Amino acid sequence: MGSMTGVFPKSPQDVVQNVGEIAMIPQVVMKVLDMTSSTRATTQELEDVIGQDQGLTSKVLTLANSSYYGLPRRVSSLREAVMFLGFRAVRNIAMTASCYNMFIGKSDSQSLLKRRIWKHSVDTSLLTRLVCSYASDVVADEAFAAGLLHDIGKAVLEQYYPQAMLQVVQTAERLGIRHHEAEEQILGFNHADVGLALAIHWNLPTVLAEAIGYHHYVSAAMTAPKLAAVVAIASDISNMLEDGVSEELWEVAIDREAIQTLGITPEQIEALLAGCEVEVERSAGLHNMAA
């Protein structure tokens, strides 16, 4: 199905119904997510799941050998990758690589746009690890998954409703408001609402669905508000770094509700920003996977 130029969706559920096959999360991602929630999964089971897809195996090895992980030597097998990096790191790499194709557009311009969304999603997922150090009771693996998928609704809207999203960009610039606020003015809902509808469609765990759906409105998360807050802060810091926003402006740039939910102090925010800047600089290898 191509992009629905000129057609504005009526609701998040309308988007999920209209986009058809794109709304199916890759089977490998579902298996990896399922393994994430199980403490009984073994490294052999992880190898078996990833090994079913040669393309995915190649991407995992490419990422494992990237400068981000700084391994002492190149690895040439999944078993070596697990041995050097550990179960959790390889599982996270597999999730990252599996989600890649959902962010690639058909045309060059669309692909460029979606690659920007991809970069932001990867950076957000990586930064959740640092934010989690200020969030008790938040499972780091769940935060990684939520960070990676938090803007999937935006990727879908950009691909299937480009005219509507162009109007969103123009409205945001004209009124000086954030994109999700412009989406609400133009569409009556925002990309996070679409992400929530997709998460429900995929039968993702409630905590992940809420983090995806409420990262702009943390107080709406009833099951795991701290997880939603972690994703919100990681996403806002990623945007700050990408847009070159001065660290002194963090009170404007970072969701105040999320900061209050985690009880982070101004001094902690400053330390967090410094750590996040280093983390993003190290992550270039995760952005440049071959399709």
Averaged pLDDT for residues 153-170: 90
Give the pair of three-digit tokens for residue 18: 């209209």
Domain ranges of the chain: 19-102, 104-291
* Cβ-count burial 105-127 (b if 16+ within 10 Å, e if not): beeeeeeebbbebbbbbbbbbbb
> What is the per-residue pLDDT for 289?
55
Give the residue from 184, 62, 191, 9 showing the smallest Cα distance to 117.
191
pLDDT score for 285: 62
- Kindly indicate whether the domain formed by 104-291 is annotated with CATH number 1.10.3210.10: yes
Dmax over CA atoms of the chain, in Å, equals: 54
pLDDT single digits (tens) 166-189: 999 999 999 999 999 999 999 999
Q: What is the pLDDT of residue 25?
A: 67
Model pTM?
Answer: 0.85
pLDDT tens-digit profile of 242-283? Answer: 988 888 889 889 999 999 999 999 999 999 999 999 888 887
What are the b/e assignments for 78-104, b being 16+ CB within 10 Å? beebbebbeeeebbbbbbbbbbbebbe
The model's confidence at residue 70, banded by pLDDT at 50, 70 and 90, is: confident
User: Rounded to an integer, what distance in angstroms lies between the CA atom of residue 267 and that of residue 134?
Assistant: 12
Residue-level pLDDT at 43? 81
Q: DSSP code of 219?
A: G
**Whether pLDDT at 48 is above 70:** yes
- Reported as a single tens digit per residue, the pLDDT across 79-119 is 888 888 888 788 888 877 777 777 766 677 777 778 888 88
pLDDT at 124 over 90: yes
> Taking Cα atoms as reference points, which of 145, 129, 125 lies closest to residue 238?
125
